[in-house]
Structure 1
Amino acid sequence: MTAGHPGVRVLLVDDQELVRSGLRRILRPRDGFVIAGECADGAEVPGALAACDVDVVVMDLRMKEVDGIEATRRLRRSGDHPPVLVLTTFDDDELLAGALRAGAAGYLLKDSTAEDLIRAVHAVAAGDAWLDVAVTARVLSTYRQAADRHPGSRAELLAPGEQDVLRAIGRGLSDAEIADALDISECTVRGRLERILAELGLRDRAAAIVYAFDHGIVTPGRSATDAADEETDPAPRPVVREPPPGPVSTLRFAVLGPLRAWRGAEQLDLGPVRQQALLAALVLRPDVTVSQQELLDDVWGLEPPGTGGKVVPVYVFRLRRCLRSAEESTSDSVIVRGRGGYRFAGDGVWMDVVWLEELVTQAGAAEQAGELTAAVGACADALDLFQGEPLAGLPGPFVAGERLRLTERRIALSQKKAELQLRLGRHAETVGELAALTAAHPHSEPLAALLMRALYGAGRRTEALAVYSGTRARLVDDLGVEPGEELRRTHNAVLCEDGESLGGYPGGLAARPGYPRPD
């Protein structure tokens, strides 16, 4: 961004008006963006760039006349040009690899959140590379054999400090993160990067990332935070995720976080993200036959793969091979071919979502019996099953719907737990949990009302009133609505110190034992 301009100037390139309209709604001036122009095909990009100043090109890959790869390649050949952020549904590893080699500074899946898109555009505009975490390791792992194809790596010619920077760049760290990890200045980082690019004959930062993976300098699947430790600790300890509870011998699935599966103590490799999305579409509909067309729609939506429906049986074959135990004689394993499609045989398979509902049922029974402490414990056990965002990183309309459903389930369960804790008088310990929840869901009026009740019960009336003011401001500014009846009623009760209405102390705060009465 240059002086005199109100934000990052973006050129949108996509052949679907609906997609461009959605991008316009996300990349708003209030978040630091200006839509400088739009193109419906890669052939229109040179003319658009000649007509306006652009900081970032957000480029679709699949377009009718000139696709995103060719358009990016032409921009690179033209000389000085703004960086390109590829925005794609991504089906083919080589397709995305071609985009990086053509000169794209980064890529992002169309299934990503609005927040990720905003961060990606800002990062690319600042000169950093952006690689979608959902597929980075798998995409670049296809190049791990490149060390054999390119035995003449020149990375050993770099000075030790430059090798450290190259390794960190390969991990996707920004200049500031590299400077912090290596205890050097950002100016030093930029200087070393310039020497790396010159010595290795690379055009930009994205090319340096690919080079690092091509030549085995960075191992796919390793955490970005390992960059600074890799030289001193050649074999950092991997992050070990414990299998979920359940019979050790059975096949187990976890979807309340990244999709994972275990057979015994062994975690299984479920393959590429779209293959995992197809598995999720079957696993979350156990014993239901899903047609091949439904699976295509579930995973690819309005942009089917170039191979059409042929990819579905290929993915099913790979999943069967992965999920089948050594003792199984059937070729189907737990994915059975039926009339009109495929069916996931859920009998005898442990799933965290099933256990989640069992714990919720236990919590309800305990509440009905008046055993509130046991109900809180069951809710806590259910919430512990969540290991981050449900189905994190997986693409497709079906997964998006399930992710939303499970996220709402988590919020509702968190609310129930908080309500039970307040009924037990655990106001102080509930405040922190609710504060974190309301920060993550700033427009949720039920959560705001609960936080106000918890703060009031903890003797923090002023803060409770501040929660109402902040929530109301966000609702008015962001959504153009006033608070609903429940939140207004809670606000009035706090104003009037009506502790009985709030489920707290009858007679208000002044009736609370130990609360200082006014003179």
Structure 2
Amino acid sequence: MSDGRTGTPTAVLDSYRRSGAGGPIEFSFALLGPVRAWGPDGEVDLGSPQQRSTLAVLLLHQGAVATVDELIRAVWGDEAPRAAVTTIRTYVSRLRRVLEPTPDSPTGVRIRSMGGGYALQVPPDSVDVIRFHRYTASAAAATRRGDSAAAATRLRAALALPNGSPLAGVSGPYAHGQRVRLQQLVLNAEIDLIHAQIDIGRHHDVLPELSMLVTEHPLWERVHELFMTALYRSGRQADALAHYQTARRDLVEHLGIEPSAALRDLHQRILTGEVAIGPATPWAVNRARSTTHRAGANRMRRLVRR
């Protein structure tokens, strides 16, 4: 969905307006999808994929200097052309032309030459990735206070920002690595939202999504915990217990490990019919769980290729 006046996705503009930045919108940037930018007059032409990659690096450095060598590696990896330094300077020059203020358009953002590289300093709320982090951090704080409803609201705001695959259409090894990282952050937020919805009693609503997630991520124990909890709270104790056996079999066959203590404890509580049962995994260990999930997923991919 777009705002007819500027061509900016409505979620991007609305989130920026709610951010408390104040004043008219000058520039906003999207990285959680195609790399795009909007100024007072609408969307800005950012040029080639390599030039967009250069902008993405500068934005993700959040005001810190990105050296020319870093930019070269980000765009071309180990296959940089001989004229890479000159080409990077050309990309920066072109970006300055469309982003920096001019006498006719005093609003804009500056790319500064500093310390053998470049730095782009923009208001944090003008970049969707920064707003995403702010919303998810606020959601985690709400959960620590025991306010799952507020956490769900913050997470929905975060998940309104992605618009497809992060850094879509941008090439280079840096973009690939950042794309994987950002996709994992979005997936974590989706799982956290499911957790919050279960906590506020919407266990029926999340069952279809969880059913797909356990198929897509058979080695991610946190997803199994949430699915078993939602099944149990929906009056499907037998299905929850059967799913535990499926999850255990996948972990043993593909990773050679038994389920974690948290998953085993949840299974036992479902077996004994505890009334007020909830997901065993606290949000504080999301990142550790994600690391385990990625390791398992990588091993699964290696097994499939054999």
TM-score, L = length of structure 2: 0.75
Contact 2:101-2:110 at 8 Å conserved across structures: no
Matching residue of 1:494: 270
Q: Which has the higher helix share?
A: 2
Contact 2:266-2:279 at 8 Å conserved across structures: no
Contact 2:76-2:173 at 8 Å conserved across structures: yes
Deviation string, structure 1 residues 95-149 (Cα, Å, up to 9, x no partner) = xxxxxxxxxxxxxxxxxxxxxxxxxxxxxxxxxxxxxxxxxxxxxxxxxxxxxxx
Matching residue of 1:341: 117
The 5 Å alignment of 1:398-409 reads 398-409=174-185
Of the three residues 9, 12, 15, the one matched with 1:242 is 9
Q: Distance in 2 between matches of 1:289 and 1:328?
A: 28
Q: Distance in 2 between matches of 1:288 and 1:364?
A: 27
Query: Residues 329 and 380 (structure 1 numbering): CA distance in 2 closer, same or farther, change over 3 Å?
Result: closer
Residue 87 (structure 2) pairs with residue 311 (structure 1): yes
The 5 Å alignment of 1:366-515 reads 366-502=142-278
Query: Residues 318 and 503 (structure 1 numbering): CA distance in 2 closer, same or farther, change over 3 Å?
Result: closer
The 5 Å alignment of 1:44-443 reads 242-243=9-10, 244-245=12-13, 246-247=16-17, 249-264=25-40, 266-327=42-103, 333-347=109-123, 350-443=126-219
Q: Which runs of 5+ in 2 are unaligned?
A: 1-6, 18-23, 281-306
Once the two structures are TM-superposed, the CA of residue 481 in structure 1 deviates from its matched residue by 3.6
Once the two structures are TM-superposed, the CA of residue 272 in structure 1 deviates from its matched residue by 1.9
**1:412 aligned counterpart, secondary structure:** helix
Contact 1:250-1:349 at 8 Å conserved across structures: no
**2:112 aligned counterpart, secondary structure:** strand
Q: Distance in 2 between matches of 1:336 and 1:267?
A: 22
Q: Distance in 2 between matches of 1:357 and 1:278?
A: 22
Instruction: Identify which range, 290-299 or 357-366, moves more after superposition.
Output: 357-366
Deviation string, structure 1 residues 281-325 (Cα, Å, up to 9, x no partner) = 110112211111111112222222343322211111222223235
AA matched with 1:321: R
AA matched with 2:222: P
AA matched with 2:232: Y
Matching residue of 1:15: none
Contact 2:270-2:277 at 8 Å conserved across structures: no
Deviation string, structure 1 residues 9-45 (Cα, Å, up to 9, x no partner) = xxxxxxxxxxxxxxxxxxxxxxxxxxxxxxxxxxxxx
Query: Residues 368 and 479 (structure 1 numbering): CA distance in 2 closer, same or farther, change over 3 Å?
Result: closer
Identity of aligned residues (%): 34
TM-score, L = length of structure 1: 0.46
Instruction: Identify which range, 258-267 or 461-470, moves more after superposition.
Output: 461-470
Once the two structures are TM-superposed, the CA of residue 264 in structure 1 deviates from its matched residue by 2.7
Contact 2:203-2:230 at 8 Å conserved across structures: yes
Matching residue of 2:291: none
Q: Distance in 2 between matches of 1:294 and 1:274?
A: 14
**2:258 aligned counterpart, secondary structure:** coil
Once the two structures are TM-superposed, the CA of residue 265 in structure 1 deviates from its matched residue by 5.5
**1:462 aligned counterpart, secondary structure:** helix
Once the two structures are TM-superposed, the CA of residue 278 in structure 1 deviates from its matched residue by 1.5
Contact 1:337-1:343 at 8 Å conserved across structures: yes
Query: Residues 349 and 311 (structure 1 numbering): CA distance in 2 closer, same or farther, change over 3 Å?
Result: farther
Once the two structures are TM-superposed, the CA of residue 378 in structure 1 deviates from its matched residue by 1.3
**1:342 aligned counterpart, secondary structure:** strand
Q: Distance in 2 between matches of 1:389 and 1:488?
A: 35
**Taking CA–CA contacts closer than 8 Å with sequence separation of 6 or more, which of the two structures ends up with the larger relative contact order?**
2
Once the two structures are TM-superposed, the CA of residue 333 in structure 1 deviates from its matched residue by 4.7
**1:343 aligned counterpart, secondary structure:** strand
Q: Distance in 2 between matches of 1:319 and 1:349?
A: 20
AA matched with 1:242: P
Query: Residues 270 and 472 (structure 1 numbering): CA distance in 2 closer, same or farther, change over 3 Å?
Result: farther
Once the two structures are TM-superposed, the CA of residue 469 in structure 1 deviates from its matched residue by 3.5
Once the two structures are TM-superposed, the CA of residue 271 in structure 1 deviates from its matched residue by 1.8
